[in-house]
Amino acid sequence: MSDAFDWDSFQPAFAIEAQRHGFLREDLLQTGAGALSAWTRADPGPVVYLSAGIHGDEPAGPLALLAWLRAGGCRAGVHWRICPALNPHGLAIGARGNAAGADLNRDYRTRMTDEISAHAAWLERGPLPALFVSLHEDWEAQGFYLYEINLGEDDPLQAERILSAVDPWFPRHGGDDIDGHVPRAPGWIFHEAEPDLADGWPEAIHLAKLGCPLSFTFETPSGAALSDRVGALEAALQTTLRFLPEGRCD
Ligand SMILES: [Zn+2]
């Protein structure tokens, strides 16, 4: 896999795979870099929402969702909602923010951007997810880490299983400060359902405020090879989806 991300080929490639697996497309917004698309396949079952590409300089997330789809990860018996590329302009040019330089993942409270205004409305008119998984990357990280927001029963084994699944790719981000947070264990930030910045809500806080009971945000080290970052995110996602009831993968 090349370390270059090609936005122009990603969009049609994802559409082909999603349609092959029975997903329906909804374009939430037209941007100068193409549509901001949401994909849904509403099987009877728990609602799972997957998100990637809100930071345009983090290409492994969109590519991991594409790889996961290609591998047939979207098993039956789940109501899937997927936004694989929330920041078309940023992904097209490899920039964190949108065309105006805004960090979309701090805009869920104020909704100043067209992207998040459209995306938050789509989230709110659909069913509440039982599980939210968000794929990110971190330029400052040396290893892998995750955020967990858990409004239900604490189950420390879940984070451990995810981190174990990623161990073949990356060490767990150590130290006593990860991205400004005190980790519960290496690689694991157990985050309250409150934002770090009062007006700078990220997507995961928005989902928690809506009532989504469990969310995981994964962060791979941006300096590593793209193929390893994609492989790690796909493994973390596959493991997380096994937490669902009757979590057998077809
Ligand atoms: Zn990010």
**Ligand 1 centre and the CA of 66: distance in Å?**
18
Residue 16 pLDDT level (bands cut at 50, 70, 90): very high
pLDDT value for 199: 85
Mean pLDDT of 181-202: 92
Output the CA 179–ligand 1 centroid distance in Å: 11
Mind listing the pLDDT tens digit for each residue in 82-122?
Answer: 999 999 999 999 999 999 999 999 999 999 999 999 999 99
Q: How confident is the prediction for the chain on average, in pLDDT? A: 95
C-alpha 135 – ligand 1 centre gap (Å): 8
Looking at residue 248, what is its pLDDT? Answer: 43
CA of 200 to the centre of ligand 1 (A): 14
**Distance from residue 51's CA to the centre of ligand 1 (Å):** 11
User: How far apart, in Å, do the first and last CA atoms of the chain sit?
Assistant: 26
- Ligand 1 centroid–CA 111 distance in Å is 18
Q: Find the 246 Cα to ligand 1 centroid distance in Å.
A: 30
Cα 201 to ligand 1 centroid, rounded to whole Å: 13
**What mean pLDDT is predicted for residues 143-156?**
96
- C-alpha 96 to ligand 1 mean position (Å): 8
- Higher-confidence position of 245 and 171: 171
Residue 22, Cα to own-chain centre: how many angstroms? 21
Alpha carbon of 138 to ligand 1 centroid (Å):
6
The answer on pLDDT for 247 being more than 70 is no
Q: Is pLDDT at 250 greater than 60 in this prediction?
A: no
pLDDT at residue 2, as a whole number: 62
Sequence ranges of the domains in the chain? 1-45+55-124, 137-196+217-244
Percent of the chain with pLDDT over 90: 90
Q: Which residues contact 248 (CB under 8 A, 6 or more apart)?
A: 75
Question: Ligand 1 mean position to 40 CA, how many Å?
Answer: 23
Q: Ligand 1 centre and the CA of 44: distance in Å? A: 31
For the residues 10-21, what does the mean pLDDT come to?
97
Q: How far is the CA of 59 from the centre of ligand 1 (A)?
A: 10
The pLDDT of residue 249 is above 80: no
Q: How far is the CA of 62 from the centre of ligand 1 (A)?
A: 12
Q: What confidence tier does 196 reach under pLDDT thresholds 50, 70, 90?
A: confident
Tell which CATH classification among 3.90.950.10, 3.20.20.140, 3.50.50.60, 3.40.630.10 matches the domain 1-45+55-124: 3.40.630.10
- 179 or 114: whose pLDDT is higher? 114
CA of 196 to the centre of ligand 1 (A): 15
Q: At what angle do helices 226-241 and 156-166 cross, to 10 degrees?
A: 150
Question: For residues 138 and 179, is the Cβ–Cβ distance under 8 A?
Answer: yes
pTM of the model: 0.96
Given a cut of 80, is residue 245 above it in pLDDT?
A: no
Instruction: Give me 147's structure tokens.
Output: 């955020």
What is the rounded CA–CA span in Å between residue 203 and residue 226? 24
Given a cut of 90, whether residue 65 has pLDDT beyond it is yes
